[in-house]
Structure 1
Amino acid sequence: MTESPGQWQSPEQPRCPYLVVRDPELVREVLHRPADFSPANALIAVTPLAGPALRVLQRVRFALPPVLASNDTDTHAGIRKIVAGFFTPATVKAMEPRIRELAQEAAGNAADQLARSGHVDLVQTVAAFPPAIVMLELLGLPVRDLADLKRWSLDSMELFWGWPDADQQLELAHSAADFYIWLRKLVAESMTKPGRNLFKSLAKHGLSTPEICSLGYFLLIAGQETTTQLISTTLFRLLDGSSPVGWKDAASEERSRSTVRHVLATESSVPTWRRMAPQDTQLGDRLIPAGAEILLELSGNHVTVPAETRDSSPRAQEAKHKPQTTFGLVFGSGIHRCLGAKLAELEAAIIVQETAAALSRIQLRDVNPDWIRHLSFQAPRAVTVMDQPL
């Protein structure tokens, strides 16, 4: 933890002020003290939205009232209970055959494309679409416009967690506006659909359309795109040789699961998350001033933290060099812990396993791909492979 608010810096982009907390015990404490460390800033744009971008969003009545991830009021528990009903252990377990079916189909398509062209991007062929299909089916929503949903998700991640310049921000705002229009229509349509779906359940709970859209906006992103990114990083690390498991060994259920857990612990798709202090409060031996913006490190990351902001306490340094064998914080902890944690791990393990089984003799074509490197999201944008020479 820094002595005072420091600077978290992207390698390419301007600095943003945060108090960085690395010590896992202190991270857990922050997450378990929501009254002292509010999630109200969790979904606020890292780069403040400029006037032109704001006007684009305002024209479509874009609104993100706090409902779930950023909700620090007493309404949170009831809303979370509704959403949790779609992610029960039994529900997730029942989805396993469907996940495997989608994984095998995607891996087969990747193998066919590899045979035709001599190379294939595993992000687009195996990692991108199965998590989106599973998420929509799980929530009782129609499976459609998947390519648009994936593009909107990546654009919104950059708009809210990246460092876009003014021109990029305006372009991303148009994308977010399109996503919001699509989402609002989907919410309206869901109210009259037979059967159970998340949006209808939220309306019955008393949420307004803007509140349902706010929850749906980030859930439909986080519920599938972060899983895509977890799969992408796992595949890349298996193929670049830095994983403790070899590529061919990942074709086993046990080894694929252990590899996914290793990536979760060391390099997850969500390496950081934000909190803020509404009032002066104590954390460890430090006084945290009211208004402090806090960045919690949940797992390893690619973003460079300047030396003056690093947690230099003995406990933090010990944790940094200690082998990570668990991933207990990567999905958060406490009342805001990720509801889709088990689903994400299951999807990633199955998709990695089926891909390794279907493409047993491949190697990386590009060992230095471009990476998504936002404040709270990271993954290779492509994992392009080719046949391994005999």
Structure 2
Amino acid sequence: MPRPNEAAPTGQAADGARCPYLVVSDPDAVREVLHRPADFSPANALIAVTPLAGPALRVLQRVNFALPPVLASNDTDTHAGIRKVVAGFFTPATVAAMEPRIRELAREAARNATDELDSSGSVDLVQMVAAFPPAVVMLELLGLPVRDLAALKRWGLDSMELFWGWPDTDRQLELVHSAADFYVWLRKLVAESRKATGRNLFKSLAEHGLSTPEICSLGYFLLIAGQETTTQLISTTLFRLLEGSATVGWNDATSEEGSKSMVRHVLATESSVPTWRRVAAHDTTLGGARIRAGSEILLELSGNQVTSPSGHERQSCAPQTVRRGLPVSPGVVFGSGIHRCLGARLAELEAAVIVQETAAALPGIQLHGPEPEWIRFLSFQAPRTVAVIQLQGQASAAPPPRREH
């Protein structure tokens, strides 16, 4: 990897003994890396952060688990054609047409949260309002059947930890069994979708010429990224609103503009995807600094804190505190260039609508219990829970109080 003095002009210098990445923090430099795919390849984007041990690999081999590069990690000339097929399901008109359905799902989830709060006295907003609407929307948008949602959510989080976390050997074995189950389920769905009437993503990819392993590879990460990262964005937004650390308050979020403003704030300061990886394809330069071929690069997209699952600092690869309030280019948050997130518009819409409907349905609530455990993987972050209780005798127009302990 580059020596620290070579990294200094472009980002945070990394101590090779503690961090395997050259961290690039400046938004302009991040954008430059993303716009130079021939120099900075996406080939490492989906490689497991913690190499899989032999027993874990054998579990995956038993189900013929294979993830050939197709979209996010594809650095070949096939990328453009495949991306065009997928982009056809995320056009601005298609996303805009989904808003009534998103609002319907958001209101239903908010009503369920209200009922749970009334009956039990507390509710976890992550599970009740943030978790399932994005999964339903993603499957419907792609023309795929809406089913096995609880399993899909579990598989998504397990795969995030497997590929972007720091699991030890025992934990890897647990996670790879989950990944294998997901892959088997996905392969059956691909076979079913190839024969289905009507338009769906997997059928369109098959017609484009992709093999079943290639479709499964694309679907594996799309069905995770296309909904789990949105759940995490919603979760962080709800938590920060109720915590009272942002300029936008809980009651402000009941308006369309207020909810959109808060979602943009979270995207800029601690998005659910705070970092992403690239690798130098050959010897090159960035901002006047020499970058050696094979250098692993970590692009900082927004504020983040990289820790191990135990909560201890695992890397010196990123800021150790969330950078709330510092401006970050919206274009960088969702990537930029030929690999920019195709679901950016959808994610912002879903988050804003779900936050707005939740705030409107639950006007008198406050955070409850200890500080929640956070998802802290290399490229993903969010609170795992947002537990709330009803605030007795509090007018809905009052600002949300601080956490009750």
Structural mapping, 1:3-82, within 5 Å? 3=5, 7=14, 15-82=18-85
Contact 1:366 1:383 in 2 (8 A): no
Identity of aligned residues (%): 77
CA 1:179–1:310 in structure 2 vs 1: closer, same or farther (change >3 Å)? Answer: closer
CA 1:262–1:76 in structure 2 vs 1: closer, same or farther (change >3 Å)? Answer: same
CA RMSD of aligned residues (A): 2.0
Query: What is the match of residue 113 of structure 1?
Result: 116
Of the three residues 202, 221, 226, the one matched with 1:223 is 226
Between the aligned partners of 2:193 and 2:318, the Cα distance in structure 1 is 47
Give the aligned residue type for 2:225: A
Q: Which has the higher contact order (CA 8 A, sep 6+)?
A: 1
Contact 2:282 2:293 in 1 (8 A): yes
CA 1:76–1:329 in structure 2 vs 1: closer, same or farther (change >3 Å)? Answer: same
Task: Give the drift of 1:248.
Answer: 1.0
Between the aligned partners of 2:185 and 2:234, the Cα distance in structure 1 is 27
Contact 1:20 1:310 in 2 (8 A): yes
Contact 2:306 2:317 in 1 (8 A): no
TM-score for both structures, normalised by structure 2:
0.90
Contact 1:120 1:384 in 2 (8 A): yes
Task: Summarize deviations over 1:254-275 as a string: whole Å, max 9, x none.
Answer: 0000000000000000000000
Of the three residues 105, 129, 133, the one matched with 2:132 is 129
SS at structure 1 position matched to 2:224: helix
Instruction: Tell me whether 1:100 sits opposite 2:91 in the alignment.
Output: no
Structural mapping, 1:1-390, within 5 Å? 2-3=4-5, 7=14, 15-303=18-306, 323-324=326-327, 326-390=329-393
Between the aligned partners of 1:118 and 1:57, the Cα distance in structure 2 is 43
Contact 1:240 1:367 in 2 (8 A): no
Task: Give the drift of 1:159.
Answer: 0.1
- Size of the aligned set, in residue pairs, is 378
Task: Summarize deviations over 1:182-233 as a string: whole Å, max 9, x none.
Answer: 0000000001110000000000000000000000000000000000000000
Query: What is the match of residue 310 of structure 2?
Result: none
Between the aligned partners of 1:307 and 1:200, the Cα distance in structure 2 is 41
Contact 1:280 1:290 in 2 (8 A): yes
CA 1:44–1:8 in structure 2 vs 1: closer, same or farther (change >3 Å)? Answer: farther
SS at structure 1 position matched to 2:21: strand
Between the aligned partners of 1:188 and 1:157, the Cα distance in structure 2 is 25
CA 1:309–1:88 in structure 2 vs 1: closer, same or farther (change >3 Å)? Answer: closer
CA 1:49–1:347 in structure 2 vs 1: closer, same or farther (change >3 Å)? Answer: same
SS at structure 2 position matched to 1:291: coil
Task: Give the drift of 1:340.
Answer: 0.2
Contact 2:19 2:315 in 1 (8 A): no
Q: Any unmatched runs of 5+ in structure 2?
A: 8-12, 308-312, 394-405
Q: Which moved more, 1:239-248 or 1:79-88?
A: 239-248
Q: Any unmatched runs of 5+ in structure 1?
A: 312-319
Task: Give the drift of 1:8.
Answer: 8.4
Query: What is the match of residue 317 of structure 1?
Result: none
Q: Which moved more, 1:299-308 or 1:156-165?
A: 299-308
Task: Give the drift of 1:247.
Answer: 0.5
Give the aligned residue type for 1:3: N
SS at structure 2 position matched to 1:191: helix
Contact 1:153 1:225 in 2 (8 A): yes
TM-score for both structures, normalised by structure 1:
0.93
Give the aligned residue type for 1:68: L
CA 1:116–1:193 in structure 2 vs 1: closer, same or farther (change >3 Å)? Answer: same
SS at structure 2 position matched to 1:17: coil
Give the 4+ runs in structure 1 shifted more than 4 A. Answer: 4-9, 304-311
Task: Give the drift of 1:322.
Answer: 8.0
Task: Summarize deviations over 1:115-167 as a string: whole Å, max 9, x none.
Answer: 00000000000000000000000000000000000000000000000000100
CA 1:365–1:8 in structure 2 vs 1: closer, same or farther (change >3 Å)? Answer: farther
Task: Give the drift of 1:244.
Answer: 1.2
CA 1:62–1:353 in structure 2 vs 1: closer, same or farther (change >3 Å)? Answer: same
